[in-house]
Structure 1
Amino acid sequence: MGAGALTKEVEPTNVERQRWLALAEKALAGASFEDSLVSHTDDAIRIEPLYDRAAGAEPLVRATPRSPWIVSQRIDDPDIGRARAQALDDVAQGATGLSLVFEGAPNAFGYGLPRTAEALETVLDGVPLNRVQIRIDAHPWSRAVADWLVAFLGKRRSDPAKLNLSFGIDPAAIFAGTGRLRMSIEALQASMPQSLAHFFSLGVPGVLLEADGRVFHNAGATEAQELGTMLASAVSYLRMFENARQPLVYAAPHIGFALSVDQDQFLSTAKLRALRRLWARIQETCSIPASTANIHAETSFRMMTAADPEINILRTAIAGFAAAAGGADSISILPHTIAHGLPAPFARRVARNAQLIMANESHIDHVADPTYGSGAVEALTLGLCEAAWEEFQRIEAEGGVLVSLQQGHIQARVKAASERRAEAYRSGERTIIGTTLYPLKSETPVETLAAERRPPFTEGVAVCEALFPVRIDQSIGAAP
């Protein structure tokens, strides 16, 4: 199937647009229309200065559009006592979800809960599981943590079928983010369906397998590269179950997605919408009954800056809004001081309350798919669908996501995109407020929690070049 199958014919240009274009040409007084008014995304998607309303568009909404998204707070403190206190405080102060980030996770950024059943049980002790989503962030021992969580629920006499759980099992993200798999690709593909079969029998209405694009985004991927890799990961799960002669209809509803959103509001919103459309297309192609994509959005780590960190509050607020407008099912906002170390309570509180204001004061969730029909956002959505589908097909031609990673194809494209972006910042074509433009004359001390950074995961049988998270300010030499 080609990318064109995801698009519809473009409406003919109307008279009003032609009149506007004539006036614009006159106002430019000989300057280039293309250079002055047209821009492009990192995927070379054209951004026009003016769009007509999109004709024939369809709304793209999350699974529960009548309910607010889940306000998910990261629990990533290596100190179990502090982590438990953070979890209880977050829930008491409005969080409706907890993302448990264990050491070794690609998105732990050097910290994370200890990798023990005791840590999981301690952190969740006292948490009202019947009204709080529990999400396990993808990491090398996700399968073991899933067993620990089920055992803990048994002790609590909690029925998993009545809870909102996400187990975060994602071999592709682990392989990419750590450069290691604990078994060969062939062994993984052969064993995973049987290994997970009993989880399906539990009837848990949540995410078991996750296609996590944050690893690729934070290493420098474009939006289409992130989406294409996520699609390839999700399809690899379907293929594993198909090869094991297990019905795809049971696996598909348990596949979820995690992606990054950044300060480019419209592009981030379009990215979420494109993912919903692409996943629907995959299910249609595989003759699977349609199930709405479950999407977790986390604000970008690579956009965070060490200089003038308070500006990060604005960046994450815009990114969080973009995620909500794009229909994310759950959202995590990174604390604004994360570039300096493990965030302290104040930074965590600001991150949490930003979402609460969006939901409870701005009422963003009262409108399902607010950008539906917008010519600009619909065009970006379709453009991302086309570019992401091309990346997905490229990965499939390379043997699938795990083989492509093992051979370094995905890494090469991500690194090339990262370098092009860094050069745009170094040349002044792009700017970072507070870092490359309008920097502070002097910085104030930043409060963080005392915590020792954890070493990266180095165990494994299958090996590839790792894609580690790199902030943009670091990539251009503007931060340590």
Structure 2
Amino acid sequence: MEAAIISTGSFPPIDRAQWLEALRGEAFARSGEAPVSPSYADLHFEQLRQEPARAGQFPLSGGGWTIVQRVDDVNAKRANAQAQFDIEAGATGLAIVFEGAPNAFGYGLPARPEALAAALHNIPLNRIYLRIDVHPSSRVTIDWIIELMRRKRVDPSRLSLSFGIDPAAVFAGNGSLRMSLEALRASMPQSLAHFFAMGIPATLLEADGRVLHNAGATEAQELGAMMAGAVSHLRMFQEARQPLIYATPHIGFALSVTQDQFLSIAKLRALRLLWAKAQEACGLQPIAAKIHAETSYRMLTLRAPENNILRSSMAAFAAAAGGADTISVLPPNIPHGLPDRRGRQIARNAQLVLSEETHLSSLASPAFGSEELNILTASLCAAAWDEFRQIEAEGGLLNSLGKGMVQQRVTAARQQALAQMQGGKVRIVGTSGQLHLRPDVEKVSTLKAERREVPQDGVVFCDSLPPLRLDEMLDDANIADADAPAADG
């Protein structure tokens, strides 16, 4: 039954009322005193009221989250010193970001096994969470990790690992893959079988929405693409002749969170509901989504970088309140270059304050009981499910990217966001109204490192979706307007 459903992609439409019912487990009725709907362009809100309070699906445990620090320095020895400092200071996880990764933003650890070994020297791997961020050589990274564990005499089965393999994220971010789509589909089953033979209880495949988000996608587009990516992973397990009931624990998600805390909380809640519905449609008993949240790159600004501290803190709060399992905060100075120790310390301490001083992690579900948030979540679910079904109709995520269909919708969303900023509907503090002033980048401290382009080699190509900050969009539009010839008359 499940194989036929996945093969045909027959995921039924679900209306907003059904999503609301899923949120609360009961019917909702219209009210004459409906709340004012937030004006998010990609969502269509129904004015619905509900009876208060019954527990929602997948209630969050009060166990807190894993505080993850990025390891993305181009110098492995320097990266190791920073990683040791982060662990000693309270971080409970590390994210290895290799060069060439779409989320490396021009930097990253050299993609070599010796660089990985150097960066993890003297790191207590049996006591931390370790994730490998998606990158072009994700598959071979598993072998690097296993060999490193063997040399350290650490049992991989007792580690907390995520390998973050997502060919679609690499394809979208870098615009190329090093094997054809046909060869990729043919080789993945063998790779999955090899992984299962090793018996490692890790997250293997990830549906990563950060590439689309940082390129300008709406929240619904990001979530819809993640659902399409996760379903494609299920198909790979199916082709590897692995029962799908054993596949879902090895699939994870990575998304971006912004300073818009309510929308970010709703996005996390929506992801859990969407994944539950996708599993149900495949005949599976749903299990909760494993979610890694990273603060948005596109929301950060070159001007007034001190404002980025508050933006990222609000985003981290939203990720924790929304129930993310692991959270990574981008340093406030990353738009200026490779973050230095001070920038990374600020990013780490933002989470430590939330974890240790606000008692946020002691609440089972900080967002529970908000009627407006339920409406926002249900509306986001409906829009994201429509995007997911559209991608499925286009042949799946990889095929849709290859045809440029996803890119067209993301580009349209980015242009709509630009129009809102230019029209004054959306304002960036410290940037809007300051475009005539050059950013004072000399006063911002970063590490000495040369920014590198993502690799262009491959055998199959598509239109790439590189990261583009909102303030960059405004600057580019301002320069274009200044260069445009004056109208006659």
Task: Name the TM-score, length of structure 1 as normaliser.
Answer: 0.91
Report the secondary structure of 2:283's partner residue. Answer: coil
Matches within 5 A, 1:357-376: 357-376=353-372
Asked if the contact 1:273/1:381 (under 8 Å) is kept, the reply is yes
CA distance in 2, matches of 1:181, 1:277: 31
- Tell me the residue number matched to 1:24: none
CA distance in 2, matches of 1:343, 1:284: 43
Deviations 1:303-322 (A, max 9, x none): 00000000000000000000
Unaligned runs of 5+ in 1: 22-36
Asked if the contact 2:28/2:51 (under 8 Å) is kept, the reply is no
Paired letter, 1:464: C
Once the 2 structures are TM-superposed, how far is the Cα of residue 42 of structure 1 from its aligned partner? 2.9
Report the secondary structure of 2:430's partner residue. Answer: coil
Aligned length: 458
- Tell me the residue number matched to 2:39: 40
Paired letter, 1:143: R
CA distance in 1, matches of 2:413, 2:439: 32
Once the 2 structures are TM-superposed, how far is the Cα of residue 352 of structure 1 from its aligned partner? 0.2
Deviations 1:423-459 (A, max 9, x none): 1101111100011057899847100000011221111
Report the secondary structure of 2:334's partner residue. Answer: coil
Report the secondary structure of 1:291's partner residue. Answer: coil
- Tell me the residue number matched to 1:31: none
CA distance in 2, matches of 1:220, 1:131: 36
- Tell me the residue number matched to 2:304: 308
- Tell me the residue number matched to 1:28: none
- Tell me the residue number matched to 1:221: 217
Matches within 5 A, 1:318-467: 318-437=314-433, 443=440, 445-467=443-465
Asked if the contact 1:100/1:136 (under 8 Å) is kept, the reply is yes
Report the secondary structure of 1:39's partner residue. Answer: coil
Report the secondary structure of 2:233's partner residue. Answer: helix
Identity over aligned residues, as a percent? 53
CA distance in 2, matches of 1:425, 1:221: 15
- Tell me the residue number matched to 2:4: none
Q: Return the match for 2:155 from 152, 159, 178.
A: 159
Report the secondary structure of 2:111's partner residue. Answer: coil
Deviations 1:100-156 (A, max 9, x none): 000000000000000100011111111111111011000000111111011111111
Asked if the contact 2:293/2:326 (under 8 Å) is kept, the reply is yes
Paired letter, 1:128: P
Asked if the contact 2:176/2:458 (under 8 Å) is kept, the reply is yes
Once the 2 structures are TM-superposed, how far is the Cα of residue 59 of structure 1 from its aligned partner? 4.5
- Tell me the residue number matched to 2:5: none
- Tell me the residue number matched to 1:2: 13
Deviations 1:279-320 (A, max 9, x none): 111111112233211100000000000000000000000000
1:256 aligns with 2:252: yes
CA distance in 2, matches of 1:92, 1:342: 22
- Tell me the residue number matched to 1:27: none
CA RMSD of aligned residues (A): 2.0
Residues 47/78 of structure 1: CA separation in 2 closer, same or farther (3 Å cut):
farther
Paired letter, 1:44: L
Structure 1, 440-449 or 291-300: larger mean CA deviation = 440-449
Structure 1, 152-161 or 114-123: larger mean CA deviation = 152-161
Asked if the contact 1:57/1:378 (under 8 Å) is kept, the reply is no
CA distance in 1, matches of 2:163, 2:221: 24
Matches within 5 A, 1:39-438: 39-46=38-45, 56=54, 58-61=56-59, 65-437=61-433
Paired letter, 1:407: K
Asked if the contact 1:3/1:385 (under 8 Å) is kept, the reply is no
Asked if the contact 1:39/1:47 (under 8 Å) is kept, the reply is no
Deviations 1:74-95 (A, max 9, x none): 0100011110101101001000
Asked if the contact 1:259/1:295 (under 8 Å) is kept, the reply is yes
Once the 2 structures are TM-superposed, how far is the Cα of residue 262 of structure 1 from its aligned partner? 0.3
Structure 1, 442-451 or 130-139: larger mean CA deviation = 442-451
CA distance in 2, matches of 1:281, 1:420: 30
